[in-house]
Amino acid sequence: MKNYSKRVIRLMIALWFVGAVFGAAVVVVQLVMSFVAGSPYTSTVVNLPELLNYIGMPVSGAVIGYLAKSAFENREKIKNNPGYQEEYHEENHA
């Protein structure tokens, strides 16, 4: 099951990168078409905010998830360290 979930996550990340690159290419084409003089596409809407949301939302979620995971793991490491409590109490009582 662990290898399956790793493959699924890798596939999701790869698809995200493909989408980000494709979205960037679309935005570049929209920008070029909107600035070309005499082009019928001069009123083309550039979808840069949508692309930035597509890129930013998963990244911010991943960062928050990683920070939460690290915080919980560190808390467990501190709790399981037998010398930590003794040292902490000695410092406070000295």
Domain that holds residue 47: 2-93
pLDDT at 24: 92
Work out the pLDDT band at 25, boundaries 50, 70, 90: very high
pLDDT at 92: 54
- The three-class DSSP label of residue 90 is helix
For the chain, what is the domain count?
1
pLDDT at 18: 92
Dihedral through CA 64, CA 67, CA 70, CA 75, nearest 10?
-100
Task: Indicate the pTM of the whole model.
Answer: 0.59
pLDDT at 21: 94
Average pLDDT value for the chain: 78
Is the pLDDT reported for residue 22 higher than 90?
Answer: yes
pLDDT at 91: 54
- H helices within the chain, ranges in order? 2-35, 48-80, 82-93
pLDDT at 37: 64
